[in-house]
Structure 1
Amino acid sequence: MSGGMPFVVLSPSLTAHEMFSTKPALLRAITTVAMFHDLPRQQTQVRELIRDLSDRIMMKGEKSIDVLQAIIVFVTWAHPHMFWSQQVTNLLHLATAITIDTSLDRNLQPACFNVTPRTHSMEENRILLGLFYLSSTLSSSFRKIDATPFTRHMEICLNNLEHNRECDSDIFLVQTVRLQRVIESIHTTNPSSAPAKIYRKAFQADLARLRQSDPYMEDSTFLRLHYLSAEIQMWELSLNEVVEDTGKPLSSVDLYSLVSAIKAFLDVFFSIPTSAYLLAPFAVFGQFAHAFIALTKLASLDVDGWDLATLNHEVNFLEVIEETARRFDETVRSFVDGIAVDNDAFGKWAQRVRYMKGVYESKFGDDQEQGQGTQPNEKLPRTPDNTGHPTPPDDILNVDFFSSLDADFWSAVDFTTDLGFPATDASLVQ
């Protein structure tokens, strides 16, 4: 699991007994996220962890490295499909407040002119950059919070990690954060201030520079998905222009570049073994969710000059839904290191994406058939066949979902849907 987590580094010689004495909160966070194979027990541990962190921070005023690292580990694997709740954003905000109170977010100044200030450790640099990365990933993937602003001090932290290279993973961290900075710039771009193509050239240059200096890109699935996610967000700027103002001219080249980026992303995502889905950090699923919604916008787009048949030839929306559901179902039956999995979270999401397929077919079925080459006289009205599917949840997978793909789309998306698991909200943290 640690492959996608360069922000907390532990010595290979560190024992659980030593961690219990020196980093008890971090140890509890690690054991909690590692209990993915037994979801009922994991849910209990989640409540206990949140209760412990709340007591340490709010009641005892603890502002330790241990607490900050525990929050980073917990949020990294706090998947929306497992135990997403508002506590995740609460913990991120509390961690950010701790960095402010302890001056981790700025250069340390001497108390008097004759005293040399203490410099931040590499461990502290990783924590600060990890909080930026997590908040920015949540912001760019789900639009649920605003990212922690990237500061000049954070750039100094990046340079220190790159120069000192205490750990092999530090270079991976540097590339990950710099790439996320580009994504943050893309998704906060205001296309009304200038045409999307003006910004796109600058973002393409940024991505090209990062690729040239990246020693891990070809070997790391995480980074390959990360780069492709950046490309999706970059090309999506043109799509958003059309969605927000149907009177604007359609840039076919940009939209087909977006289709190519989505296809490349899905090819990599679907190459991941389904058993590894339980080990992957939430950023992977955040990027997948964003790619999926971009594809949904394309499959629902109704403007002159847009060819649904070409989209279906490259990336068939309904086939993507079915493959996603199939792989999620397979994850429920998987074994990880020989351990049987008692975690049906992915199975519940498989049900939901199949329900989405029925909704899409009922709303756009005729267009879909036409895009696949069906003759006009063969088109018939259809209603979704929800046999065997759950009752439509009161969340993103309702009939209004496909009517919400406009400038306010993200405000209509609710990722706090009840998946039938024990709650982790404040009412249980007592």
Structure 2
Amino acid sequence: MRFRKSSMRNNSWSKEMQEVLSTPRVNHRDTNLDLTRCDRLDKECNIQPRGSHSRKNGGRGYGREDLLRLESKFDSVAQLLSNSSAVAGSSPGPALTSISPSDSPITAVFIQPLTPEAQLLAYKMFELYHRQMMPLFPFVWISLDESPEKLFRERPMLYMAIMVVACQQNADAQLELAQRWREELGRRIWAQGEKNIHLLQGVLVYLAWHHIHLQLGSQLNNLMHTAMSLAEELGISREKSMNAKTSPGGLNDYFTTNQGTRDKTNEERRCYLGLFWINSVLRMCVKDTCPMLGGQSIEEARLALQQAAELPCDEYLVQLVRVQQVSNTIDKTLYQDLSTTEATLPSAVLMAVSHLERDVEAVKTSLPSGLPQQELLLMSCHVLQIFLYKVGMDDRLLQSVDTDGSSTYSLRVSHILASCFNAVKAEAASVMSLPNSVILSMPYPYWIQIGHAILIYSRLLVTHHSFWDPGLLTSIQDFSDTLEGLSQKIEGAMNEGINSSPQRFLPTMFAKLRERFVNICKRVEENSKANTQSNIGTTEIPHSDVFEPGNMVIDEETEALLFSFFTDGLI
């Protein structure tokens, strides 16, 4: 039922409405009672409107204000029905009729049924994702016999997420698709209460290439918490154990007993481990976001996939998870437990580093050889080393070093800083060896690993002490050359993408990459010169406006640099 505003606001409608409201309603049952009463009293019967015997001042008629108020309510209802009719019509199926098509033919891939032109575009983007992008994110796997039409019908949010990340031939259309995906996600989750494994897969793919839609406004935390909530609701992240009757959340456990005890499918395990991987990399490189719980369930899921070896991507997936499991151990040991204890002795920190060093080395030396993603695995290991060794820039360690720097303690801290520098250089070398096609397809977690390595490199250059002179290992010129090499590598990949068929573009923010790197070099050089003389022979590190002294966790500075590194000022 729909109302037309124009017909509701004219004078004729108001007159008709007034007549209807002023006409008395006759109830035949009440009329018979009135006739009987008149006969009994032997009086002439005059049927009066109901309520005429009420007190004159007891009620009031319908005035113009009432009619206007009623018209306003009708208008509101009409507008509400008009806006919601399209959404209500599209809710049973995946077709997004509530989204009006754009002038760009690419956006038609979000409307079902697909037109012949949209179908051709969907197949091209689907092939690009399957061939170039999916092998780099092995946590959501799509079989070769899957078609875009079938995926759109059965897993619409995953299909749309793939169209978003693979729409590299038109950056503007890609942003429009990304915005529509966000709107559809909100409708399905909040308006319809939808929750299923396919929805979680779509969120993971959309989150994995977060840099593509950063210009719409960063939703990193919102998307991460949404994915974590979906995993919890689906029982994917639940430990396989029975809680005691007196444990917290007993009422919830009554309704979710089967979710917590049933065996997970391999598809669910991949989703769960993919969520863990993204969460862990974000915590390591960007911000101290809410950690995922369930270390035992993560280990069980990893071992199950390792033993099954069901898909060609599973070996790569298992190794990525192993790296981040060690990262979580480092985070908990150095950057949570020890950092919250004020009385922690610096020697205890060094002992913890020595112990964790063996875990890092064990993961790195046990990496399988011959994987297509070998360099990406090495990049993850190098960043893992950076994450461990950056603790050498912590204030508490530096302030405990003797002024002459000749003690065993001083040499150990110097070794940690030198190891951190070597890991940074190894990370840059791994990036330089990546094929251009990988640069164009790389998920967001690898980009933030690169950004984190750049940040730590700059921090090492501005850290000066009697026992640590970065000039012995590197220089501002080396730093500048490294950034220049990275810039040329990324620009080369972008040029290759432009000349490919179909064309492939990175987000527009990468066009200003060289300018960003030049600004970073200038800042680092200024701060390094300022700290060179003032810190020699002292145990106190002065405050820097650009780089604060090395705290245990430097996530705020990392995030600030990454925003400058990836965005064009819109965030």
Q: TM-score when scaled to structure 1?
A: 0.81
- Distance in 1, matches of 2:161 and 2:369, equals 28
Identify if the C-alpha distance between structure 1 residues 21 and 74 changes in structure 2 by more than 3 Å, giving closer, same or farther: same
Identify if the C-alpha distance between structure 1 residues 360 and 81 changes in structure 2 by more than 3 Å, giving closer, same or farther: farther
Q: Aligned to 1:325, which of 474, 487, 510?
A: 487
- Compare 156-165 and 11-20 and name the one that shifted more: 156-165
- Distance in 2, matches of 1:309 and 1:140, equals 27
Structure with higher RCO (Cα < 8 A, 6+ apart): 1
- Distance in 1, matches of 2:289 and 2:476, equals 33
- Distance in 2, matches of 1:404 and 1:71, equals 37
- Distance in 1, matches of 2:357 and 2:216, equals 33
Q: Trace 1:86-97 onto structure 2 (pairs within 5 A).
A: 86-97=218-229
Q: Which amino acid aligns with 1:10?
A: I
Alignment of 1:222 with 2:367, yes or no, is: no
What residue number does 1:419 align with?
567
Q: Which amino acid aligns with 2:523?
A: V
What residue number does 2:192 align with?
60
Q: Aligned to 1:121, which of 238, 261, 265?
A: 265
Q: Aligned to 1:334, which of 482, 485, 496?
A: 496
Alignment of 1:360 with 2:493, yes or no, is: no
Alignment of 1:261 with 2:423, yes or no, is: yes
Alignment of 1:180 with 2:343, yes or no, is: no
Q: Trace 1:80-229 onto structure 2 (pairs within 5 A).
A: 82-83=214-215, 85-106=217-238, 107=240, 118-188=262-332, 189-190=334-335, 191-192=338-339, 193=344, 195-216=348-369, 220-229=374-383
Q: Which sections of structure 1, spanning at least 5 residues, go unmatched? A: 370-398, 424-430
Q: Which amino acid aligns with 2:207?
A: V
Task: Please give the per-residue CA displacement for 1:323-353, whole angstroms capped at 9, x wherever unaligned.
Answer: 2333344344332643434443212232112
How many residues get paired? 391
- Distance in 2, matches of 1:228 and 1:296, equals 16
Q: Aligned to 1:235, which of 373, 381, 389?
A: 389
- Distance in 1, matches of 2:150 and 2:395, equals 55
Quote the RMSD (CA, aligned, Å).
Answer: 3.1
Task: Please give the per-residue CA displacement for 1:64-83, whole angstroms capped at 9, x wherever unaligned.
Answer: 11110011111111128954
Q: Which sections of structure 2, spanning at least 5 residues, go unmatched? A: 1-132, 243-252, 403-409, 534-543
Q: Which amino acid aligns with 2:393?
A: L
Q: Secondary structure at the match of 2:185?
A: helix
- Distance in 1, matches of 2:570 and 2:477, equals 37
Identify if the C-alpha distance between structure 1 residues 344 and 147 changes in structure 2 by more than 3 Å, giving closer, same or farther: same
Identify if the C-alpha distance between structure 1 residues 357 and 202 changes in structure 2 by more than 3 Å, giving closer, same or farther: same
What residue number does 2:38 align with?
none
Q: Aligned to 1:345, which of 484, 506, 509?
A: 509
- Distance in 1, matches of 2:509 and 2:478, equals 25
Alignment of 1:43 with 2:175, yes or no, is: yes
Q: Which amino acid aligns with 1:352?
A: R
Q: Percent identity?
A: 22
Q: Which amino acid aligns with 2:138?
A: P
- Distance in 2, matches of 1:99 and 1:170, equals 20
Q: Are 1:84 and 1:416, in contact at CA under 8 Å, matched by a contact in 2?
A: no
Task: Please give the per-residue CA displacement for 1:128-150, whole angstroms capped at 9, x wherever unaligned.
Answer: 11111111111101124132124
- Give, in angstroms, the shift of residue 260 of structure 1: 1.4
Computing the radius of gyration over CA atoms, which structure comes out larger, 1 or 2? 2
- Give, in angstroms, the shift of residue 357 of structure 1: 1.8
Q: Secondary structure at the match of 1:335?
A: helix
- Distance in 2, matches of 1:234 and 1:59, equals 44
- Give, in angstroms, the shift of residue 207 of structure 1: 2.8
Q: Are 1:324 and 1:350, in contact at CA under 8 Å, matched by a contact in 2?
A: no
Q: Secondary structure at the match of 1:79?
A: helix
Q: Are 1:77 and 1:282, in contact at CA under 8 Å, matched by a contact in 2?
A: yes
Q: Aligned to 1:302, which of 464, 469, 482?
A: 464
Q: Are 1:238 and 1:254, in contact at CA under 8 Å, matched by a contact in 2?
A: yes
- Distance in 2, matches of 1:248 and 1:96, equals 43
Q: TM-score when scaled to structure 2?
A: 0.62
Alignment of 1:410 with 2:551, yes or no, is: no
Q: Are 2:195 and 2:230, in contact at CA under 8 Å, matched by a contact in 1?
A: yes
- Distance in 1, matches of 2:371 and 2:272, equals 27
Task: Please give the per-residue CA displacement for 1:228-255, whole angstroms capped at 9, x wherever unaligned.
Answer: 111121222223356x743435422221
Q: Which amino acid aligns with 2:419?
A: S
Identify if the C-alpha distance between structure 1 residues 298 and 118 changes in structure 2 by more than 3 Å, giving closer, same or farther: closer
- Distance in 2, matches of 1:135 and 1:271, equals 26
Q: Which amino acid aligns with 2:363?
A: L
